[in-house]
A and B are shown apart, each in its own frame.
Chain A
Amino acid sequence: MSKIVILGAGISGHVAASHLRRKLSKEHEVVVVSPNSNYQWIPSNIWVGIGRMKSKEILFPLAPLYRKKNIGFLQAKAISFHPEGDAVEAKPYVLSEYVIGEKKGVQEKVTYDYLINATGPKLNFEATDGLIPGSNKTYSVCTYGHADHAWHGLNGLIQEMKKGKKAKILIGTGHAKATCQGAAFEYILNVEQELRKHKVRDMAEITWISNEYQLGDFGMDGMLLSYNSMTMKSSEMVEMIFEDRDIKWILGAGVEKIEDGLAHYENLDGEHKTESYDFAMLIPAFSGHGFKAFDKGNQDITDKLFKGFMIVDADYTSKPYEEWSVQDWPETYQNPSYKNIFAPGIAFAPPHAISKPRKSKNGTDISPAPPRTGMPSGITAKLVADNIIDSIKKGKESLEHKGSMGNMGAACIASAGYGLTQGSGVSITTYPIVPDYHKYPKSQGRKLGKTFGEIGLAGHWLKLALHYAFIYKAKMKPFWWLIPE
Chain B
Amino acid sequence: MTERISKYQRFKMMNPIIQFFKFIYLSIKIMIVVAGGHGGTREVK
Contacts and interface: CB of A to CB of B under 8 A. Distances in A.
A452 B19 contact: no
Given A431-B33, A462-B26, A402 B39 contact: yes
Interface string B3-45: 1110000001111100110110011011111111011111000
A455 B18 CA distance: 12
Given A244-B4, A331-B41, A402-B40, A459 B26 contact: yes
B2 A375 contact: no
Contacts of A410: 33-34
A403 B19 contact: no
A458 B23 contact: yes
A409 B31 contact: no
Contacts of A383: 38
A407 B38 contact: yes
Given A457-B13, A457-B19, A458-B19, A404 B40 contact: yes
Interface string A409-450: 111010000000110100101010000100000000000001
B5 to A, nearest CB: 5
B42 A244 contact: no
A331 B40 contact: yes
Given A243-B4, A326-B41, A403-B39, A457 B29 contact: no
A132 B15 CA distance: 41
Contacts of B42: 327, 331, 404
A459 B20 CA distance: 10
A187 B1 CA distance: 20
Contacts, number: 101
Given A244-B2, A429-B34, A462-B27, A457 B16 contact: yes
A461 B42 CA distance: 38
A450 B38 contact: no
Contacts of B23: 458, 461-462
Contact of A454 (B2, B20, B26): B26
B30 A484 contact: no
A409 B36 contact: yes
Contact of B41 (A327, A413, A429, A452): A327
B34 A484 contact: yes
B5 A424 contact: no
A466 B16 CA distance: 19
Given A244-B5, A331-B42, A456 B33 contact: no
B14 to A, nearest CB: 5
Interface of A: 240-241, 243-244, 246, 326-327, 329, 331, 375, 379, 383, 402-404, 406-411, 413, 421-422, 424, 427, 429, 431, 436, 450, 452, 454-459, 461-462, 465, 484
15 contacts: A244-B1, A246-B1, A326-B41, A329-B41, A331-B42, A375-B34, A404-B40, A407-B38, A410-B34, A421-B14, A452-B29, A454-B26, A457-B14, A458-B19, A458-B26
Given A402-B39, A454-B26, A457-B22, 8 more contacts: A240-B4, A246-B2, A331-B39, A403-B39, A422-B14, A455-B5, A462-B27, A484-B35
